Structure 1
Amino acid sequence: MTATGPRTAPDVVEVVDVVALGESMVTFLPSRPGPLADVPSFDRGIGGAESNVACVLAAAGHSARWISRVGDDGFGDHLVETIGGYGVDVSHVRRDPARPTGIYFRTAGDRSTDAHEVAYYRAGSAASAMSPSGVDLDAVRAARVLHLSGITPALSADCLDLMRVLTAPHPDRPLISFDVNHRPALWRDGHGPEVLLELARGADIVFVGDDEARQAWGLHGARAVRDALPEPEIVVVKQGKGGAVAFGKDTDGLPCDDADGTATFVRALDVAVVAAVGAGDAFAAGFLSATLRDLPVRDRLRHGHLTAAAALTVPGDLAPPPARAHADRLAALDDTAWGRLRLGPGWTRAEEPEEHRGPEKEARTP
């Protein structure tokens, strides 16, 4: 499947490879381990599923735009400047003089387990006021791919209305990428699972963890997820340390496995994990980067794993992706060499001159 999108006249908003729409917040990371009550100071960072994807794609050489609302405050300044510093177009981010930029604090524990605390201060944030009339829809749709997540519709009724507009049929609708990102704590009305299923069925590419599918929809196994989502062109089910499987459609537009009768599965890499934050966003960015380049589904999954490995081997949410040529060489390895890869901190900088690299040395990237 090739990512295609609307064509614009010179006097209309420039079409970029990817637009990512969603809330970003200023993150306060602890200066030392321990409960929030005992942490004396924090370092400032940024966090946002959609902006993470935009930043990684921009760092990988794609044109990317982030659409959101931030407060007319110093934290909003920090978000716009930091995300723009990655090469992301932030010119369509709107300032809200009446609402603040969201912030949150978290402990040093792993957010993917219960060994952490997170304190969010996002209620009534500027981003929660996003709506069909509160964002520039032309700028949102001027993309080959529009990346959304299940966090945005949980922020407010207006945000849910916006998501429904963006995933509905439209003459200028780009390819819609949707990361389910189920956050039960955000859905106080209990309607999260049904809303997320509705939005996922309106997307073209869907990313969902098998654990999310069990928790939100009571689905067990990748095939059950695909059966519940027959509409998207591609459904990617992430299986944690096991790997990820992608389902496509046949020539008649019906949900199916790949042409050889099996789903496209790629095992995850052996990674020396520094912090398990941002890996899901990085996986989506790697997959979308390969989609924009019209690579085979297997290679899209491999690029997803490689970009996730870059995030897993740094302490923060964002990590520079591997150089495209480096990632392409690793993605092209045979299955045996792929299975031998061992990736640790600094691996994205470990590329050697081509004339000094052999297949065994490459397969043992540090």
Structure 2
Amino acid sequence: MYGVKESVVEVVCIGEPIVQFNAVTPGPLRYVNLFEKHVGGPETTVAVCVRRLEHASGLIGRVGDDELGHFITSWLRGVDVDTSYVKVDSSGPTAICLVQRGYPIPGRSKVQYYRKGSAGSRLAPEDIDKEFISGARVVHLSGVTPAISQSATDACLKAIVTAGENGVLVSLDTQIRPQLWESLDDAASVIMKFVEFANILFTDLGDAEILIGESNPERVIQVFKSIGVDVVVLRLGERGAIASRGSELAEAEPLPISIEDPLGAGEALAGTFLSCLIEGRSLFESLRKSMISWSLVASIRGEQTNLPTSRDLDGAFRALYP
């Protein structure tokens, strides 16, 4: 195992859970009449993925005291994610987003967020329980949460400092969402502070260009590792992903699928990779399994519906890589 320790909740995720209304038909939202309702949010989806793969996970965040907030907590409890530190906050609504599919670029989704003043944006340092963090193996967060408020940024910083002080691995997915930041310079300044604490980093070439001014995969990996990141996983979209740990380098391609909705696929990759890391899998197996999960989620609408179970993922891996 990669420096992980025994714990009850193995992976603690920190972030805002949201309700995603996903257009059933492609095209501009103004013409869409039917939507599917799903639980979403990058950290939330990672927590569900990890639990689906038979590792205990928990979420720290806030939802509104409304029907959508209760929908989120009911869903998470139903899939056995620890919600002990998901607060129900009556001072703001549960955040939502609308997903426009296949327009203006076929095969890609466009997301409109409604999260200003949401309960989740009120995440604060007092929400971070030191015992919950220190008892985990991995703490995972994304670049989305620091974008939603200063108090959320402060909460995330408290979490990763607590993790570092207690030998807990810090996992960061950069996930720069330009619509949530005042500017890309602001995004880079804040997220790079978190990169300095990260043991495991998930990113892509677009984010790397913003953060470190590099878009060559080899250079991206080199620069992040020179900062002190131990494991770098570089997503390349439909071309697959590259992972680097020490002197090891692994590459994997997605399955030959028709992409229905790529939202949540990156989180499926991250959750699967973290689960494999906890299990002590090789870098190659970890990345290949992660790309299987990526492909499964990208093939349907909704971030969490098609997340594989451990049994199904193992079966797919054996069939594809005999």
Does TM-score exceed 0.5, indicating one fold? Answer: yes
Matches within 5 A, 1:170-249: 170-189=164-183, 190-229=185-224, 230=226, 231-249=228-246
Deviations 1:125-181 (A, max 9, x none): 111111211333322343111111010111111111122222226432511111111
Q: Deviations over 1:7-48 (max 9, x none)?
A: 6xxxxxxx3121111111112223443322222343322211
Provide structure 1 residue ranges, at least 5 long, that are not aligned to the other structure: 8-14, 250-256, 339-358, 360-366
Aligned residue type for 1:25: I
The 1:267/1:41 distance shift into structure 2, 3 A limit, reads closer
SS in 1 for 2:215: coil
Greater relative contact order, per chain length (Cα 8 Å cut-off, separation 6+): 2
| Paired-residue identity, % | 30
- Return closer, same or farther for 1:118/1:239 CA change in 2, 3 Å cut-off: closer
Distance 1:212 1:32, change over 3 A: same
Alignment counterpart, residue 120 of structure 1, candidates 110, 113, 122: 113
In 1, distance between residues paired with 2:104 and 2:11? 27
Verify the 8 A CA contact 2:175 2:203 in the aligned structure 1. yes
User: Which of 87, 100, 103 lines up with 2:96 in the alignment?
Assistant: 103
**Higher helix proportion (structure 1 or 2):** 2
Confirm or deny that 1:276 pairs with 2:273: no
Superposition RMSD in Å: 2.4
Deviation at 1:289, TM superposition (A): 1.2
Name structure 2 gaps, 5 residues minimum.
Answer: none
Residue number among 292, 295, 301 corresponding to 1:309 in the alignment:
295
Distance 2:104 2:290 in 1: 20
Distance 1:5 1:162, change over 3 A: farther
**What TM-score, normalized to structure 2?**
0.89
Contact in 2 for aligned 1:50/1:148 (Cα 8 Å): yes
- Contact between 2:12 and 2:59, CA under 8 Å: does it hold in 1? yes
Q: Structure 1 residues 33, 247: closer, same or farther in 2, change over 3 A?
A: closer
Corresponding pairs, count: 318
Normalising by structure 1, report the TM-score: 0.79
SS in 1 for 2:229: coil
In structure 1, the partner of 2:155 is: 162
**1:70-89 pair list within 5 angstroms:** 70-89=63-82
Aligned partner of 1:364 in structure 2 is none
Q: Do the aligned partners of residues 305 and 186 (structure 1) sit closer, same or farther apart at CA in structure 2, a change above 3 Å counting?
A: same
Partner of 1:128: helix, strand, or coil?
A: helix
From the superposition, tell whether residues 305 and 116 of structure 1 become closer, same or farther in structure 2 (CA, over 3 Å): closer
Partner Cα separation in structure 1 for residue 245 and residue 110 of structure 2: 38
* CA distances 1:291-311 after superposition (whole Å, capped 9, x unpaired): 110111111111111111221
Letter in 1 for 2:190: V
